[in-house]
Structure 1
C-alpha cells in the first residue's frame, strides 16, 4: 500500500469515528432531554378536548400563572393551522375550566404575511376569552424565545404549556432549565401530515436548544415587562 493510500485510509477511519461519536452524542442529548421531562407531561388530549374533573382538579392544584399556548403556523391570515387550532382549543378549554386565569399566546409575528399572534388572538377572542385575560408575545420566534420571554417579559413562574407531545419535551426542558415550573398538556387531537419529517427535525432542534439552555442564551428580542398578573390588552398591539 502506498503512503498516499495509507493517509486516505487513516482519514476515512477518523471521519467514521468522528461521525459515530457525533451520532452517539446526538442520541444521548435527545434521550436526556426527553427523559428529564417525561413526567412533566401530565395529560395528552386524544380525539377531543374533554378533560374530566380529576384532571382539572390536579391542574388547578398546580396553581399556574397562565396557560402558555405555543404557535404552530397558520393556514392564511385569519386561520390557524390544524396543529395550532388543536393547541388553541385545548388551551382555551383549560382556561374555561378555571385551570388558570390568564392565557399567554406566543408565536412568530416577524413577517407581515405570517402573523401567528393575530390569528391566535382572534381565535381566542371569538371563543369567548375576555381580552384582558389574553396576553400576546409577538416575539416568540422560536420555542426557546417563547419560554425565555414568558419569564423575562411576562413574569411567569409556573405555567401549563400546550403543544403537541413531540414538541412538549423541548418546551418543558427549556422552561425547566430557565427556572420555570412548567407542566405540559399535549394537544394531539389528530394525526398531522408530515409528522415523520417533523419528528426528525425536532431531534436537531433539541440539540440546538440544549446548548442554548446550557449557556442561558438570551431571547432574540427583549422588551418592556408586562406582568401576567395584570391586564393583557396592552400586549395585543392592535
Structure 2
C-alpha cells in the first residue's frame, strides 16, 4: 500500500460510517414523526378528553409565560371554553429557585377565566418525556389532548401514546410556519424520545401521587 493509503482508507470508512449513522438517525426520527400524525387535529375538532396536557416553555421577564408558552395556554383556554376538556394539567420545570413555571401557567389560566378547581400543576415536568409519563403514572391521565406547537407535537404524541395515554394533539401555532432551528432540534430529540421509550426510562421524579380535578 502506498504511503498514506491506510489513512485514506480509514478516512473513507469513517465518512461512510458517519453518513450511514446520519441516515439512520433521519429514518428513526421520521418514523417517530409519522407514528401518530393522524392524531393531530384542528383545535375546533379536538376530541372529548378528561384533560388537556400543556407543556412548559419557559418564562419571560417578569415571571410571566414566554410568548411560546402563552400560545399553548391560550389554546388550552379555548379547549376548555369549547367543552373539549374538563381539566387542564400544566406541566413544567420548577426545580430552579425563583423559576416558578407552573405557578405562572396556572395564574395565566385563572386570569382568563379558567376556574381554579379545573387546573392541576405538575411541578416536576422536567422534560416532554417526564411530563407525559408523570401525567399517566402520577396524575392518572388515561386520555388527553396534548397542547404544544406543531413542531413539538409529533414527539409528544409518540411519547404519550407509548407510555399508555390515549393522546391526541392540538397545535397551538396552527397555520403558522415552524422556524428551521426547531425543525433541526426536533430531528435529534425524536430519536432520543424513541430511545427513552424503548429503555423505559424512569422520570427524574417518579412519585408524588395526585388526582386530576373532578369535572
Question: Taking structure 2 as the reference length, what is the TM-score of the superposition?
Answer: 0.93
Taking the TM superposition and a 5 Å limit, the aligned residue runs for 1:34-53 are 34-43=33-42, 51=44
Deviations 1:41-67 (CA, angstroms, capped at 9, x unpaired) = 011x6xxxxx3xxx26xx22xxx1201
Cα distance in 1 for residues equivalent to 2:61 and 2:52: 25
1:188 counterpart SS class: coil
Identify the match of residue 98 of structure 1 among 80, 83, 88. 83
**CA RMSD of superposed structures (Å):** 1.9
Alignment of 1:227-238 (within 5 A): 227-230=211-214
| Alignment match, 2:92 | 107
Tell me which of 122, 125, 128 is aligned to 2:110. 125
Distance in 2, Cα, partners of 1:153 & 1:76: 31
**Matched residues in 2 for 1:229 and 1:88: separation?**
18
Quote how far apart the aligned CAs of 1:103 are: 0.5
Runs of 4+ in 1 over 2 A off after TM superposition: 189-192
| Separation of aligned partners in 1, 2:68 and 2:208 | 30
> Which secondary structure state, in structure 2, belongs to the residue aligned with residue 102 of structure 1?
strand
1-side partners of 2:161 and 2:14: how far apart? Answer: 36
Distance 1:34 1:92, change over 3 A: same
* 1:209 maps onto 2:193 in alignment: yes
For structure 1, which segment, 148-157 or 222-231, has the greater mean C-alpha deviation from structure 2 after superposition? 222-231
Please give the alpha-carbon distance, in whole angstroms, between the structure 1 residues aligned to 2:174 and 2:136.
28
Give the one of 220, 233, 238 matched to 2:204.
220
SS in 2 for 1:197: helix
Distance 2:157 2:187 in 1: 15
CA distance in 2, matches of 1:116, 1:229: 20
Count of aligned pairs between the two proteins: 215
List runs of 5+ in structure 2 lacking aligned partners.
Answer: none
SS for the counterpart of 1:183 is strand
Q: CA–CA distance in 2 between the matches of 1:172 and 1:183?
A: 7
- 1:2 aligned residue: 2
The CA distance in 1 between the partners of 2:31 and 2:204, in whole Å, is 26
- Residues 77 and 115, structure 1, Cα contact 8 Å, conserved in 2: no
Quote how far apart the aligned CAs of 1:190 are. Answer: 7.7
